[in-house]
Amino acid sequence: MHNDLIVIDGLQYSNWNRTIFEQLREGGVTMVHVTIVYHEQIRETLLRISEWNRHFEHNSDLIMPVRSAADIRRAKELGKVGIMFGAQNCSPIEDDIGMIEVMRELNLMIMQLTYNNQSLLACGCYEAEDSGVTRFGRQVIKEMNRVGMVVDMSHSGERSTLDAIDISERPIVISHANPTSFHAAKRNKSDTVLKALGESGGLLGFSLYPFHLKNGPDCTLDEFCDMVASTADLMGIDRIGIGTDLCQDQPLSVLEWMRNGRWSKEMDYGEGSKSNADWPRPLSWFRDSRDFPNITNGLLARGFSPEEVAKVMGLNWLNFLDDALKPE
């Protein structure tokens, strides 16, 4: 069954190379949302895009750019992996609202308003007080809605996330996070947020990053599928998908860049513990993209119907993007 599915991974930040592209195809992945930016500003973002142009040139038999939801279906037909660009921070637009349209024209499809810290747009999940979406943030959301760029609140605080759901005239995503009720990581989301997200037509991508899971790297596939089932009861089966947050073959320096950026001279430990100072041990049942069939089989074993599994593994993302990527 897995090979017939449209499989969409709502977020990865791997050290991209041909071997990883081959693993994506071997795992039956139709499309992956790739983080091209954490703290990079405009010029650096352009350099990341140019690097991806070389990837497309040199691996055209394996991967293709995604410029619309139709390209995802085309990737499935061609047996290729679609690559959709995203940013985990608002740094690519700096303080210029006009850059939103420019970046969307360069196929930046998804942008987080914050990455853990307070930004010009909203508040991150590690700040002591969440001041909500800012004046600039309200204008940015309006412009993202207009040009067909998806608002992502994965690393944002509770008030800011609820604000974004309320302010945005189009549904938003939380591309890679889990319910706080399953595991109380700062990055995970309360039932209040998830219920509001579901009711607004938004989408949650379940994270497989061990620090976001109960029992960390020892979280079992059964426990993960139980989490999916309980969240489906809360949000609805049409409002959930996968966003693995897989960071494959990345050196420690990349983890430090993600957490520290340019704002700190000291190591930021993210969840507040030195035990998180290195990459976590991978899950036994999800080591890389070749293990996507394990999730399909786990959901079937948990009692999801084939139609429900197809939704969680990719159709919900596809249906969401069908509308979300179209300019107004």
Listing DSSP states for 2-57 in one string gives GGGS--EEEEE-----HHHHHHHHHTT--EEEEEEESS--HHHHHHHHHHHHHHHH
Q: Which residues contact 38 (CB under 8 A, 6 or more apart)?
A: 13, 88, 89, 91, 115, 257, 258, 261
In the numeric block, which tokens belong to residue 193?
A: 């947020």
In three-state secondary structure terms, 114 is coil
Residue 267 is predicted with a pLDDT of 80
Q: What percent of the chain has pLDDT over 70?
A: 98
Flag whether 2 is in a domain: no
- The stretch 158-165 carries a mean pLDDT of 98
Check whether 50 has a pLDDT greater than 70: yes
Q: What percent of the chain has pLDDT over 90?
A: 89
Cβ atoms of 318 and 324 closer than 8 Å: no
* In the block, residue with structure tokens 């990883």: 20
Flag whether 199 is in a domain: yes
Flag whether 126 is in a domain: yes
**pLDDT band per the 50, 70, 90 thresholds, residue 275:** low
CATH code for the domain of 131: 3.20.20.140
Flag whether 251 is in a domain: yes
The candidate with the shortest Cα–Cα distance to 111, out of 37, 41, 203, is 37
- The stretch 66-84 carries a mean pLDDT of 98
Other Cβ atoms less than 10 A from the Cβ of 109: the count is 22
Q: Which residues contact 263 (CB under 8 A, 6 or more apart)?
A: 39, 117
Residue 265 is predicted with a pLDDT of 87
In three-state secondary structure terms, 171 is coil
User: Which bin fits 127, alpha (ψ -120 to 50), beta or left (φ > 0)?
Assistant: beta
pTM equals: 0.96
**pLDDT band per the 50, 70, 90 thresholds, residue 274:** low
Residue 140 is predicted with a pLDDT of 98
Structure confidence by residue, pLDDT tens digits, 172-229? 999 999 999 999 999 999 999 999 999 999 999 999 999 999 999 999 999 999 999 9
Cβ atoms of 125 and 82 closer than 8 Å: no
Structure confidence by residue, pLDDT tens digits, 30-49? 999 999 999 999 999 999 99
Residue 133 is predicted with a pLDDT of 98
Residue 251 is predicted with a pLDDT of 84
Structure confidence by residue, pLDDT tens digits, 233-267? 999 999 999 999 999 888 888 888 888 898 888 88
Q: Which domain holds residue 21?
A: 7-324
Residue 135 is predicted with a pLDDT of 98
In three-state secondary structure terms, 87 is strand
Flag whether 108 is in a domain: yes
Flag whether 1 is in a domain: no
Check whether 273 has a pLDDT greater than 60: no
Flag whether 180 is in a domain: yes
Residue 271 is predicted with a pLDDT of 54
Q: For the chain, how many structural domains are there in total? A: 1
The candidate with the shortest Cα–Cα distance to 171, out of 152, 190, 155, is 152
Check whether 16 has a pLDDT greater than 90: yes
Residue 306 is predicted with a pLDDT of 98
